[in-house]
Every structure is written in C-alpha cells, then in structure tokens.
Amino acid sequence: MSEDKLDYKRAGVDYSRLDPLKVMAQQAARDTARHLLNAGFQEVAASRGESAYVIDMGDFYLASITECLGTKSLVADAMREIGGRTYYDQIAQDTIAAAANDLATVGARPLSIHAYWAVGGSEWFDDERRMRDLVQGWKATCDALGAAWGGGETPSLAGIVQSGTIDLAASCVGIIRPKEHLVLGEALRPGDAIVLLASSGIHANGLTLARKLAERLPQGYATPLPEGRLYGEALLDATTLYSPVVQALLAAGIDIHYMANITGHGWRKIMRHPAAFTYRIASLPPVPPVLRFLAQQAGLGPDEAYGTLNMGAGYALFLAAEDAQRAIEISQAQSVPAYLAGRVESGPRRVLIEPLNVLYDAASLDLRG
C-alpha cells in the first residue's frame, strides 16, 4: 500500500475491533427474546442479525431500529464556513435515512421516528439558521416517508461530544402489514436477479475517509470536481430514501426475496444474507462523480472502492428474474433509477464483480458471528 493511500484503518475506523463487541452483544441480546412471550408476543428470531428487529404482534409485525448518521455533519460544518449554507436540512434526511432505509429492508413501513441530537454544548443551538434547517429537514423527511415525528432528545454532552459538533441519530418504529410483506430472506434462491437502486452520492458511509481526503487537498472541501461542483457540496447530497420504493414494490405485489442497504462495507453488503450464495455482478451502475473523485484521489483500487463505498448503488433488491423489469419500472416511477446488475448463483458465499475483476469472500463481511 503506497504512502499516499488512505484506507479505513488509517482513517480511524477499524472494523476488526468493533465486530467482537457486536458479536458478544448479539449473543446476550438473543437470550432476552423469551421476555416477549410473557407479554403475549414473540420475536421473529430470523430478524436477529438483520437490519431491523421484528416482533410478531399477532395481526402484524412490528419492526424497530436505531441508527446513527456518523460524521457527515462535520462536512456540513466545514461547508457552512465556505459557502454560508448550513446543509442541515440534508443532514436531517441523511440521519433519518440511516434508520428508515434499514427498516425498509424487512418490508416495514415507518410509523414513527424519534430524533437523537446530542451536542457538545448549548452554544450549538445559537446558530438559528442551522437549527431551523435541521428541524425543517427532519420534518420534511418524516413527511416524505409518511411517518410521524414522535419526539426526541437533545442532550448537551460537554466532555463527550466535542464542542461545536453534534451526534445525530434516529430511532424508527415500523409496521409490516399484511404479514406477507415481511422480508427476511427465506425466499432468496439461485437464479434470483440482483437489482441495484441508484445512490445520490456518498450517502452516510465513507465520510471519515472523505474528510481525511479533504485535509490533504490544497483547497479542501472547496476543491471543484471535474463536473464543477465543490467536493464538499457534492459530498453533502442527501441520502436517497428507499422506503417509498420498497412500499411501492410491496403495494404492487412484487415478491421481494431479500433486500440489503449498501452502507458500511460497501458492496460486500450484497452478500448480507447469511446463506451460501454467490452474487455475480455483470454490469455496474453509473458512479456518482464525487465517489469517482474520492476513490481516485484517495488512491483506492476497485476492490477497496467497492468494498468501502456504495459506488452508485445504495440498495440491493433480490427477486425472481421475471419480476426484475417491473421492479425497475416501479423504482423509477419513484424517481430512483434502478439497474439489473447481476444474479444469485449457488456456490460459496461471495460477491463477484466481473467488470472489475473483484471478488469479496465471506470472511470479508462478518456481521453476525
């Protein structure tokens, strides 16, 4: 690896150290499921390790999740100084999308959303424009998702959250009704089509890397991309909301076999399903200019770029080949471009990206333990 190259370990995120905790916590959590029986309900055990937790409530399923934005707000803070805009309306959408896109993978429709906005000190709220943008963006995203904004928490955490910064997260509760809309991957099978839904840009994953790069660029976030927009501005494009696409697919009766939200670990998430399948990608969606720029400037090879960033695909749908074209049309009717990218095959658990000659084996994505 050359000296010029930025990778994730060097940029401060070391997945190998995070995952053992995840595994230990998941095992302890599993043991608590029995409590639901006392309340007259039952956990859907197959949802353990999936992107949202699912409880069988009798007439319907309930899904819940808490997700964090990450460090994207730091880019907005830097751009506030460069161009005057706060971008916190978009940051709000990014934060909710982190939870709602995950919630949608099990087929859930969001019901209510809670805000978690932890600041380093009360002075964060002195920037009225930013505060207003955050509130209005949060509301607009709830409206776009058809979800109620249920409440929130705005703690001031001097000594934990750095002064002038904000730790943003969202909790989401959703419903799966009729119960046939539950998607946990039991139906995934060889021959299924892989449909990739376009991303709008970096979304909320890879920002640590993107920020490190900004430090190295002489003009930082103000660096113009070949297309003319500023690097920082393009990074801040709001995460696509996939929940409306998923709801439209389910409403149209499309039998979705599985879904994966392409976030951390990039395209390795295509093999999110625990079973042994080979995912063969034959064609690639367009790469957003900001991701092409980032991969190039950070010196990432295709294996690293697609293994870290979404590279133009923010969501993966797995469904019967004969449903692929209709799913693509439904997604596009929701203004989200969609691509028939490849197929599921029997074989060892891995992702093959043929046009790039890239292979990710099962060991490169250990989410469950």
Judged by CB under 8 A, the residue of 7, 46, 71, 326 near a second copy is 71
Shortest Cβ 248–a second copy spacing (Å): 14
Nearer CB in complex with a second copy: 91/196 = 91
Closer residue to a second copy in complex, CB, 67/237: 67
Using CB under 8 A as the binding rule, whether residue 175 contacts a second copy is answered as yes
Question: For a second copy, which residue of 2, 3, 4, 21 counts as binding (CB under 8 A)?
Answer: 21
3 state SS for the chain: CCCCCCCCCCCCCCHHHHHHHHHHHHHHHHCCCCHHHHCCCEECHHHCCCCCEEEECCCCEEEEEEEECCCHHHHHHHHHHHHCCCCHHHHHHHHHHHHHHHHHCCCCEEEEEEEEEEECCHHHHHCHHHHHHHHHHHHHHHHHHCCEEEEEECCECECCECCCCEEEEEEEEEEECCHHHCCCCCCCCCCCEEEEEECCCCCCCCHHHHHHHHHHCCCHHHCECCCCCEHHHHHCCCCCCCHHHHHHHHHCCCCEEEEEECECEHHHHHHCCCCCCEEEECCCCCCCHHHHHHHHHCCCCHHHHHHHCCCCEEEEEEECHHHHHHHHHHHHHCCCCEEEEEEEECCCCEEEEHHHCEEEEHHHCCCCC
Q: Could you say which of 1, 148, 217, 321 contacts a second copy (CB under 8 A)?
A: 148
| Residue 131 sits in the site that holds a second copy (CB under 8 A) | yes
**The one segment of 159-167, 267-275, 301-309, 356-364 that binds a second copy by CB under 8 A:** 159-167
- For the CB of residue 97, give the shortest distance to a second copy in the complex, in Å: 14
- Among residues 5, 10, 129, 132, the one that binds a second copy under rule CB under 8 A: 132
Residues 202-231 that bind a second copy (CB under 8 A): 208, 211
Only segment of 151-159, 332-340, 346-354, 356-364 that touches a second copy (CB under 8 A) = 151-159
Counting contacts by CB under 8 A, is residue 171 touching a second copy? yes
Contact between 248 and a second copy (CB under 8 A)?
A: no
Strand 148-153 relative to strand 109-119, pairing: parallel
Considering only 81, 129, 136, 361, the residue that binds a second copy (CB under 8 A) is: 136
Residue 152 binds a second copy, judged by CB under 8 A: yes
| 263: contact with a second copy by CB under 8 A | no
Residue 149's φ and ψ, nearest 5 degrees, are -80, 105
Question: Is 133 one of the binding residues for a second copy (CB under 8 A)?
Answer: no
80 touches a second copy (CB under 8 A):
no
When asked if residue 252 is in the footprint of a second copy (CB under 8 A), the reply is no
Given the rule CB under 8 A, which of 10-18, 234-242, 270-278, 295-303 is the region that contacts a second copy? 10-18
Which residue, 78 or 317, is less far from a second copy as judged by CB? 78
Range 324-363, binding a second copy (CB under 8 A): none
Total Cβ atoms within 10 A of residue 303: 17
29 makes contact with a second copy (CB under 8 A): yes
The CA distance from 173 to 296, in Å, is: 39
Among residues 4 and 31, whose Cβ is nearest to a second copy?
31
Among 35, 129, 179, 368, binds a second copy (CB under 8 A): 35
User: Least distance in Å: CB of 222 to a second copy?
Assistant: 19
126 binds a second copy (CB under 8 A): yes
By the 10 Å C-beta count (0-12 exposed, 13-18 middle, 19+ buried), 152 is classed as middle
